[in-house]
Amino acid sequence: MSEIPPNMSESPQAPADAPDRLVRDGLRCLQLSGAIFLRAHFSAPWAYESPPSEQIVAQLKPGDRRVILFHIFTEGSCRIRVGSSGDVTQIEAGDIAIFPFADQHRVGDPSTDSPVTLAQLMPPPPWNELPVIRFGKGGAPTSMVCGYLYCDDLPFNPVLASLPPVIRVRPAGGPLAEWVDASIKYALRASEARADDDPLMQRLPELLFIECLCEYATRQRQADNGWLAGLADPIVGRALAAVHRHPEQAWTLNDLAKHASTSRSVLDERFRVLLGQAPMSYVSAWRLQLASRKLRTSNATLAEIADAIGYGSEASFSRAFKRHVGVAPSEWRARP
């Protein structure tokens, strides 16, 4: 059972659902897509530094989008440092490193302090075939496959906002490791064949991210706060699951507290400690996340979207959306 945060005296039953199911429910607000875009083979000593996140976004997916980077290490080992003073993450073959915010980072072996820029290694776009980098001085080899995902970058995003600058997922054998290995092989073959219209290729980065985030959530059950900590919490997890699965319901604080088998005051307190906001504020923001996706991915009318996410009228939905996002729903839908 999760440890009860300070100043919380009530100890409820554990959540009914496993963390991975709760994560999958929670990811419904994200519209993700991406691609495998690079293979790299290094030999010690070597090190490179990525460009700032703004440059990565401009190169890969310009516009009002967030870019998520991931590196799948198939051979060797190295270290990753995010920013000039960030923590160092040790990477081994089989690891997957995810950069939720595409923060500037340095990757390399510990024997060199002189990284080159990634721009020095990459051929200039457009890339008519999958770029392959080969760099180093002939020592111990390290290889990786790189990809990206992008999603609409909204003012409120509980999933991404709760993640650290770099996530290392280390599949410990079993189905996840086998699936990752098979997916990499498939992606590389399809990329080399330029199968850009392959539906599976278009979804592989999204599926990889979801599976890795589920694995990460399972290992982070004792996190102090954040969205993943909320999912694992015995009280907040129940309330979040209910809201995620039934956003159209006319939720009140009293309804959520009953669903979580607790009092309104305890539910409100735990929400504020773990997620930094009140339960009903989360309900509103969650509904508008779902609405933003429906606006981009469906032809549903504003009235139909309003009804699907629990707003009583198109007018009230439009006012809430503009207040939250900064533009009217029709303007958001029309953006490229």
In this structure, the answer to whether residues 142 and 236 fall within a common structural domain is: no
Q: What are 55's two structure tokens?
A: 């440059």
Q: Is residue 166 part of a domain?
A: yes
In this structure, the answer to whether residues 257 and 157 fall within a common structural domain is: no
Please give the pLDDT value at position 7.
Answer: 39
Cα R_g (the chain), whole angstroms: 22
Q: Which residue, 170, 190, 213, sits at the end of a domain?
A: 170
- φ/ψ of 116, rounded to 5, equals -90, 165
Number of structural domains the chain divides into: 2
In this structure, the answer to whether residues 164 and 35 fall within a common structural domain is: yes
In this structure, the answer to whether residues 166 and 85 fall within a common structural domain is: yes
Q: Which residue, 170, 186, 208, sits at the end of a domain?
A: 170
- Rounded Cα distance, 215 and 70, in Å: 15
- Rounded Cα distance, 323 and 139, in Å: 56
Please give the pLDDT value at position 154.
Answer: 64
Closest to 293 in 3D by CA, of 105, 159, 131, 186: 159
DSSP 8-state code for residue 28: G
Residues spanned by the domain of 307: 225-334
Q: Is residue 2 part of a domain?
A: no
- φ/ψ of 144, rounded to 5, equals -150, 160
In this structure, the answer to whether residues 233 and 324 fall within a common structural domain is: yes
DSSP 8-state code for residue 185: H
- φ/ψ of 233, rounded to 5, equals -70, 135
In this structure, the answer to whether residues 166 and 258 fall within a common structural domain is: no
Q: What are 150's two structure tokens?
A: 């992008």
- Rounded Cα distance, 134 and 187, in Å: 20
Q: Which residue, 155, 170, 185, sits at the end of a domain?
A: 170
CB 295 within 8 A of CB 332: yes
- φ/ψ of 160, rounded to 5, equals -70, -35
Block residue for tokens 């990477």: 91
Continuous segment of H or E residues that includes residue 331: helix 329-334
| DSSP string across 36-76 | EEEEEEEESS-EEEPPPHHHHHHHHS-SSEEEEEEEEEEES
Closest to 42 in 3D by CA, of 103, 100, 106: 106
Task: Give me the CATH number covering residue 251.
Answer: 1.10.10.60
In this structure, the answer to whether residues 121 and 230 fall within a common structural domain is: no
Task: Give me the CATH number covering residue 149.
Answer: 2.60.120
Q: Is residue 283 part of a domain?
A: yes
Q: Is residue 196 part of a domain?
A: no
Q: What are 220's two structure tokens?
A: 């982070």
Q: What are 95's two structure tokens?
A: 């690891």
Please give the pLDDT value at position 55.
Answer: 81
In this structure, the answer to whether residues 104 and 229 fall within a common structural domain is: no
In this structure, the answer to whether residues 38 and 101 fall within a common structural domain is: yes
Q: Is residue 127 part of a domain?
A: yes
CB 141 within 8 A of CB 35: no
Please give the pLDDT value at position 321.
Answer: 94
In this structure, the answer to whether residues 146 and 243 fall within a common structural domain is: no
In this structure, the answer to whether residues 238 and 329 fall within a common structural domain is: yes
Please give the pLDDT value at position 86.
Answer: 74
Rounded to two decimals, the pTM is 0.80
* 10-residue averages of pLDDT along the chain (336 residues): 37 51 72 79 94 79 73 94 84 92 90 86 76 92 89 68 86 76 75 63 78 78 75 88 92 96 96 93 91 88 95 94 92 84
Q: Is residue 213 part of a domain?
A: no
Q: Is residue 194 part of a domain?
A: no
Closest to 167 in 3D by CA, of 93, 266, 68: 68
DSSP 8-state code for residue 332: H
In this structure, the answer to whether residues 140 and 234 fall within a common structural domain is: no
Q: Is residue 329 part of a domain?
A: yes
- φ/ψ of 125, rounded to 5, equals -75, 165
